[in-house]
Structure 1
Amino acid sequence: MNNHFDHARRNFITGMLVVSGLTVLPAKVWAVAEKQPSSNPDNLFLSTLCDLVIPQTDTPGAVDVKVPEFVEVAVKHGLSGAPVDALSRFEFALLSDVPGFNTLSYQQQIEALTPIDNGSFSRNPAEKPQGDLALWKAIKALIVTGYYTSQAGSSEELRYVLIPGKFDADVPADASTRAFSSDWTGVKFG
């Protein structure tokens, strides 16, 4: 892809994130994360979570684009309101709630994480996860933010059109239609 458009895309996304109130920009987090070793053995649990949230399909998954490294750096800087020890606290809580989580099959891990995920994003306070399991909402937000602000996430998973064109209320869409990476107006961060 043309470097001018890559630069314009990052500037646009960064600008939208500044407007939305993030204090640490994903572009700065990526600058640090890209320097970290990609085979950090300490982030096996985090890599599993990233793979569960955004697995590899016809486009690279979260692990492929180094989202675990992004999340580690983002947590250290308090992005999405996550405490510095959010990852270790969540891991301990999840392994206490679901013993042997790391040894479960991919499908079993999805099934174990689904009620926590549903509760984290529920409007019903009775469904919210308790204790450190409530950290899932911030961790998942960082995984998604990291992926869609990465080079592959913003250019391969999403379509990028610097100026998407005129308004057309009747756009044909099917399962293969990708969202625009240049449309961050409806995203709420934080």
Structure 2
Amino acid sequence: MAWRPRSELETGAQIVSGQLGKTVQRLRKAYNLSLSELAEQSGVAKSIISQIERNETNPTLATIWRLSQALDVSIERVLASAEDEPFVEKLGRAETPMLVSDDGKVRLAIIGWIRTVEWLQWYDLKAEAGGALESDAHQRGSLECLSVLSGEAEVEIAGHVEAARAGETLRYRCDRPHVIRAVGREPLHATMVCIMKAAVME
């Protein structure tokens, strides 16, 4: 439901929120505005804005609407306190997508956030000795980071091979076919982050 501005002649509903002042102050500072500048742009008295930021007054919806217009954000965002609340999302093992190679030697858990998949992907990689993850080229400029947690990995790109042991990280262009192999006797465990649309490396 969209909020509507009310006339100054109407008292409107009083907003009681311990987070409102912090939110207005944070947005004002984000735009690098002084109290006087925000007052001039919003038409709300400087003293009132100061009281709002210190949570010493409960402004009407009309006042909040004027501030939201001056700060170029929705009134819902001004009223929201999500910025000061922790964001926690938990996925169980069964809810984490898992890719398994045809030979069963490589397991790739998709632990990245689906909302970032177009520009950032990250995985938990586990492979038995001798297992290999073959990947096609990603879009031009993409970069991959492989951090080995245990075991030993070998990355091959365009005929070039580089190895990494536990505690080491390989960063490489992945905009060409590449292969990650588990070498040595121990299973490989690593995290893999792919940065899509990265700056083209010349």
Q: How would you bin the TM-score normalised by the shorter chain?
A: under 0.3
Please state which structure has a larger fraction of its residues in strand.
Answer: 2
TM-score between the two structures when normalised by the length of structure 2: 0.23
Q: Which has the higher contact order (CA 8 A, sep 6+)?
A: 1
TM norm structure 1: 0.24
Greater gyration radius: 2
